Structure 1
Amino acid sequence: MSVYIVGVAGGSGSGKTHFALDLQRQLGRDNCTIIYQDNYYIDQSHRFDGDGGSVNFDHPSSLDFTLLAQDLQKLRKGLDVQIPIYDFKTHTRQKETILCKPTKIILVDGILILNSMEVRCELDESIFFDTPEELRFQRRLHRDVNERGRTPEGVKKQFELQVRPMHNQYVEPSKNFANTVIKDLGEYSDALQNFCQKLMPA
């Protein structure tokens, strides 16, 4: 089976995960699998010092991109992989893993995937969501408070001290590696339709 790997990148809260899920729904789970960068965080429990503290989760060094690239290589060869699970409440990797089997299309979702040369080398194509900062912040605030047990104060502090500067230094420049850059909802709809037609032609 031929495996086609697409990177879906952009800042935190840019809409990339929404797009990946929309695309997966259109293509079908039997044909399309999503792999999330967030599963590949390195254990930070020994360094975590509180909500909005000094651990920088938006720096490339906080992620195991070597393992992600290796897993993509295995999937392309038709091999199963065991994807790690990162617990954002304890900041540890769980003992359990997620069994991931190769499908025709693999979507790789993450803010820094295009910053990593190791991961970029495994992508057949990539798309970047270039979304205004205020909208990205509001989406991240909602996610971190409701899904990750964070406080609004901690999320805001982290955004100002880490997320914004890391976005400007690492995420934003990485859009130059993308094949497609999306800036508004009109482009979103067109891109979704185009990818569906390209990846699973009638």
Structure 2
Amino acid sequence: MKKSAGTTIIAITGGSGSGKTTAARRLWELIGKENCQIISQDSYYHDHSAQFKGDGTVNFDHPNAIDFKLMADHLKKLSQNQPIEIPIYDFVTHTRKEKTIRVEPFPYIIVDGILILSQEILRPFFDFSIFIDISEETRYARRLKRDVEERGRHPDGVKIQFDSFVKPMHETFVQPSKHFATHVSYDNQSLNEMLADLTKNLLSK
């Protein structure tokens, strides 16, 4: 893989509810929005509409649910100073919308997602990678609050989904990927310090 000398790609990952999206936005602000762009794993779900026509259930936490090949192709293009067209996934119809989001190359690209470090096809693109290692209890509490307050979910349904899909996929794919991280954070204080130090290091070059 040949990367543009001016492109730095940073992965921020961890389990559902670990705070990775908040961390990605914080780093985006620290580096400067004019110099940085966030790419989310959630944009790359496959079309799953067929499974929802009957009683099928989709495991959105399994790598097979996501088009990592397209994601890798996009990271390659960005790293070679080429623009990309990011899909927009419709979580109501479980399809990709016809409209896409055009993203121009930036000096810094932040990639956010629970499974990104588990994928061998993506890891070569990351110059830095942060794994946020937060306890299951904290992650579940955050997910429960989000799903009930923001998505109108019933607490029982959130618990069933967590136990049936989120937890086993975390143990199988997400947690083992910590091994590939260049930085690991275990609490908010260390995470904030890590983001500040990384920003200082990046912008001093």
TM-score by length of 2: 0.92
Q: 1:106 aligns with which of 106, 109, 120?
A: 109
Matched, 1:154 2:157: yes
Q: Paired residue for 2:8?
A: 4
Instruction: Name the aligned partner's letter for residue 158 of structure 1.
Output: Q
Aligned CA distance change for structure 1 residues 129 and 193 (closer, same or farther; 3 Å): same
**TM-aligned CA deviation for residue 48 of structure 1:** 2.8
Q: Which residue of 2 aligns with 1:96?
A: 99
Aligned partners of 2:150 and 2:97: how far apart in 1?
Answer: 17
What is the match of residue 82 of structure 1?
85
Q: Which moved more, 1:40-49 or 1:12-21?
A: 40-49
CA displacement at 1:89 relative to structure 2: 2.3
CA–CA distance in structure 1, aligned partners of residues 132 and 115 of structure 2: 12
Measured in 1, the distance between the counterparts of 2:154 and 2:30 equals 35
Aligned residues: 201
Shift of the alpha carbon at 1:142? 2.8
The answer to whether the aligner puts 1:37 opposite 2:37 as a matched pair is: no
Aligned amino acid, residue 180 of structure 1 = H
CA deviations 1:23-51 (Å, max 9, x no partner) are 11111111110000000011111113799
Residue by residue over 1:128-157, the C-alpha shift from the partner in whole angstroms, topping out at 9 and shown as x without a partner, is 000111111122223334444543332221
Shift in alpha-carbon separation, 1:64–1:24, aligned structure 2, 3 A: same
- Give the AA of the match of 2:179: N
Q: 1:75 to 1:167 in 2, by over 3 A?
A: same
**What are the ranges of 5 or more consecutive residues in structure 1 without an aligned counterpart?**
none
Is it true that 1:22 corresponds to 2:26 in the alignment?
yes
Q: Distance in 1 between matches of 2:149 and 2:41?
A: 20
Question: Is the Cα contact below 8 Å between 1:6 and 1:126 reproduced in 2?
Answer: yes
In the aligned structure 1, how far is the partner of 2:191 from the partner of 2:53? 38
TM-score, reference length from structure 1: 0.93
Contact 1:49-1:55 at 8 Å conserved across structures: no
The answer to whether the 8 Å contact 2:30/2:196 transfers is no
Task: Give the aligned residue type for 1:57.
Answer: F
Match of 1:65 in 2: 68
Determine the C-alpha separation between the residues in 1 that align with 2:153 and 2:97: 19
2:142 aligns with: 139
Percent identity over the alignment is 49
The question of whether the paired residues in 2 share the 8 Å contact of 1:89 and 1:148 is answered with: no
Equivalents in 1 of 2:130, 2:95: separation in Å? 30
Letter in 2 for 1:136: R
